[in-house]
């Protein structure tokens, strides 16, 4: 198996562990040489993931020397490359056009619009556009967002037309800092009030198999959309859960996705759920650790099993409630210390705490930032117990930022 691992991902270790459990020989391809490269030797490959065609050509050349049974992208940065390479090699894959639509929020909005899938009304702001006028046309409040960044980076709510124009200027500055085109298109979307839920699923031959539905109990109302707590199973009424699952399946069809993991973000607005985004990969960060299937099978194992054509039947989510809290960066500066870790780990129901930024490193808050301080994991008999444990653990932490 070839794993496409962007250098900025949290997820390399979890996918490598899953491959080891499955007895799969792994080659890692990344946009930079990883620390694991020394251990992998000639099974480590450097490819330009920001140039998918070129990266796919390198993978095809690799396949001429060593047999590949699957190409899997562990994060957004590799999904188009994986689709292109897998198509060339005759492996399980999504159409490259569908992978591109899942990576580009404008292409996604246009595809959903063509298929009449429920989503926020939107306009496109090109360079020099009158963003204030676009905001008035959509109807304030609006959400300004770039088409290519992820993790809520550069996503800003504006409550009036003047604020929308200011937000657009700030988003273009964020794009420049991220090495992206600051003159690229921006989306001006109508803000949809209501709670958010996220769906995790696997597509097989175009059919969506839901794996988990996460509630997000913290309100995400802006001006920045910092995600914190995910808890499953959902406490929504069953009929509402089915609506969300059906909407996610419709969105996947509209994009043309057919195989592999999907992660859908939806809002429960007036008249039913609305699609915010649908990604052609599993849940980001270390959040996948909140899920277990069958006899302790991880989410990453499920993703690899699917790519290899192995059976997934009977691998349903464990019956206990579970959840994760992404520890937000409260302000920009230098992380000095995170105190209270032992107290957080001692909270009843907490099963793990992992910090992902070391002391002494710079931290950047949203909307400019794209990383979390770490992750807290909890399990319990009911979702309420999990949510309470996550909140207590977070309250025990003292984050010192200079």
Distance CA 168, CA 186 (A): 8
Domain CATH code at residue 165: 3.30.1490.20
Tell whether 217 is covered by a domain.
no
The answer to whether residues 87 and 136 belong to one domain is no
* Conformational region of residue 381, where left means phi above 0, alpha means psi within -120 to 50, and beta covers everything else: alpha
* Region 294-309 average pLDDT: 93
Smallest Cα–Cα separation from 4: which of 38, 28, 40? 28
The domain boundary, picked from 190, 219, 241, lies at: 190
Tell whether 31 is covered by a domain.
yes
The answer to whether residues 73 and 142 belong to one domain is no
Tell whether 302 is covered by a domain.
no
Which pLDDT score, from 0 to 100, does residue 35 have? 46
pTM > 0.85: yes or no: yes
Give the 3-state secondary structure of residue 27: strand
Smallest Cα–Cα separation from 155: which of 189, 106, 193? 189
Residue 345 CB coordination number (10 Å): 14
25, 169, 170, 363, 392 from 368: Cα distances, Å = 38, 13, 9, 10, 28
The answer to whether residues 12 and 95 belong to one domain is yes
* Region 68-89 average pLDDT: 96
The answer to whether residues 51 and 134 belong to one domain is no
The domain boundary, picked from 69, 101, 133, lies at: 101
Q: What is the pLDDT of residues 237-290, one digit of tens each?
A: 999 999 999 999 999 999 999 999 999 999 998 889 999 999 999 998 899 999
The answer to whether residues 91 and 138 belong to one domain is no
Count Cα neighbours of 39 within 13 Å in the Cβ-side half-sphere.
7
Which pLDDT score, from 0 to 100, does residue 39 have? 47
The answer to whether residues 96 and 146 belong to one domain is no
Residue 63 belongs to what domain range?
2-101
Which pLDDT score, from 0 to 100, does residue 151 have? 85
The answer to whether residues 13 and 87 belong to one domain is yes
Tell whether 85 is covered by a domain.
yes
Tell whether 169 is covered by a domain.
yes
User: Domain tally for the chain?
Assistant: 3
The answer to whether residues 344 and 398 belong to one domain is yes
Tell whether 111 is covered by a domain.
no
The answer to whether residues 141 and 62 belong to one domain is no
Domain CATH code at residue 325: 3.90.1170.50
Q: Rounded to 10 degrees, what is the CA torsion of 228, 381, 313, 280?
A: -10
Which pLDDT score, from 0 to 100, does residue 40 have? 57
Quick check: 34 pLDDT over 90? no
Whether 326 contacts 227, CB under 8 Å: yes
Collect all residues with Cβ–Cβ distance below 8 Å to 115 and sequence separation of at least 6: 250, 253, 254
Window from 17-21, 43-47, 66-70, 76-80 with minimum mean pLDDT: 43-47
Smallest Cα–Cα separation from 174: which of 156, 194, 199? 156
128 burial type by CB count under 10 A (0-12 exposed, 13-18 middle, 19+ buried): exposed
Which pLDDT score, from 0 to 100, does residue 42 have? 57
The domain boundary, picked from 71, 101, 131, lies at: 101
27, 33, 206 from 43: Cα distances, Å = 4, 11, 32
Tell whether 209 is covered by a domain.
no
Tell whether 175 is covered by a domain.
yes
């Amino acid at each position: 198996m070839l794993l496409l691992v962007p250098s900025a991902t949290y997820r390399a270790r979890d996918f490598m562990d899953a491959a080891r459990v499955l007895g799969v020989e792994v080659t890692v391809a990344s946009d930079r040489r990883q620390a694991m490269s020394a251990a992998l030797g000639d099974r480590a490959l450097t490819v330009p993931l920001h140039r998918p065609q070129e990266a796919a050509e390198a993978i095809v050349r690799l396949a001429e020397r060593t047999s590949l049974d699957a190409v899997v992208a562990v994060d957004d940065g590799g999904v188009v490359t994986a689709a292109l390479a897998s198509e060339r090699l005759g492996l399980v894959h999504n159409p490259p056009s569908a992978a591109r639509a899942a990576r580009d929020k404008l292409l996604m909005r246009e595809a959903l619009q063509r298929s009449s899938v429920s989503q926020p009304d939107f306009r496109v702001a090109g360079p020099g556009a009158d963003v204030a006028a676009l905001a008035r046309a959509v109807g304030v409040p609006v959400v300004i967002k770039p088409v290519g960044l992820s993790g809520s980076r550069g996503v800003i709510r504006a409550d009036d037309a003047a604020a929308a124009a200011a937000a657009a200027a700030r988003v273009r500055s964020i794009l420049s800092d991220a090495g992206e085109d600051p003159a690229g298109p921006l989306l001006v979307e109508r803000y949809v009030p209501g709670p958010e839920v996220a769906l995790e699923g696997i597509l097989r031959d175009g059919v969506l198999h839901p794996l988990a539905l996460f509630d997000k109990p913290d309100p995400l109302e802006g001006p920045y959309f910092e995600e914190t707590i995910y808890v499953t199973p959902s406490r929504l009424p069953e009929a509402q859960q089915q609506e969300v699952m059906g909407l996610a399946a419709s969105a996947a069809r509209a994009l043309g996705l057919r195989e592999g993991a999907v992660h859908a973000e939806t809002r429960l607005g007036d008249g039913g759920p609305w699609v915010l985004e649908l990604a052609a990969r599993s849940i980001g960060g270390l959040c996948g650790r909140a899920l277990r299937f069958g006899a302790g099978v991880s989410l990453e194992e499920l993703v690899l099993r699917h790519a290899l054509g192995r059976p997934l039947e009977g691998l349903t989510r464990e019956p206990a409630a579970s959840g994760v809290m992404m520890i937000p960066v409260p302000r920009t500066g230098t992380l000095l210390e995170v105190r209270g870790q032992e107290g957080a780990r001692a909270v009843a129901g907490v099963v793990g705490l992992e910090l992902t930024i070391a002391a002494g490193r710079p931290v950047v808050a949203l909307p400019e930032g794209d990383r979390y301080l770490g992750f807290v994991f909890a399990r319990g008999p009911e979702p309420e117990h999990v949510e309470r444990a996550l909140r207590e653990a977070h309250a025990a932490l003292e984050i010192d930022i200079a």
